[in-house]
Amino acid sequence: MRLRFEIVVSLKDGLLDPQGKAIQGALPTLGWENVSDVRVGKHIELVVEAESEAEARSHVEEMSRTFLSNPVIEDFRVLSSEEASAS
């Protein structure tokens, strides 16, 4: 089966996020005064071919840990899975 996963990779809490700070600094000049705590991360979408959903999910978690994120400074979350249409 082919399953589509979404992964969010974000900087660990407490680490300085320059991209988020840049967005937050720009928002007031555009009229948005009511926004705070902006953090920017990566969103990765991929399709995994596997025997079962559990197997696919464990592949995605291992990939995220070893390749898609830097575990020293980043956390990841696997958001969702859904059956992908054959292509």
Please tell me whether residue 59 adopts helix, strand or coil conformation.
helix
Minimum distance from CB of 40 to its own copies (Å)? 5
Residues 14-43 that bind its own copies (CB under 8 A): 20, 23-24, 26-27, 30, 32, 34-43
Q: Binding of its own copies at residue 13 (CB under 8 A)?
A: no
Q: Give the torsion through C-alpha atoms of 39, 76, 74, 30, to 10 deg.
A: -10
Give phi and psi for 6, each to the nearest 5: -120, 135
Residue type, 71: P
Among 59, 61, 74, 78, which residue sits at the site for its own copies (rule: CB under 8 A)?
Answer: 59
What is the DSSP-derived secondary structure letter of residue 84?
P
Residues that bind its own copies (CB under 8 A): 4, 6, 8-10, 20, 23-24, 26-27, 30, 32, 34-50, 59, 63, 66-68, 84, 87
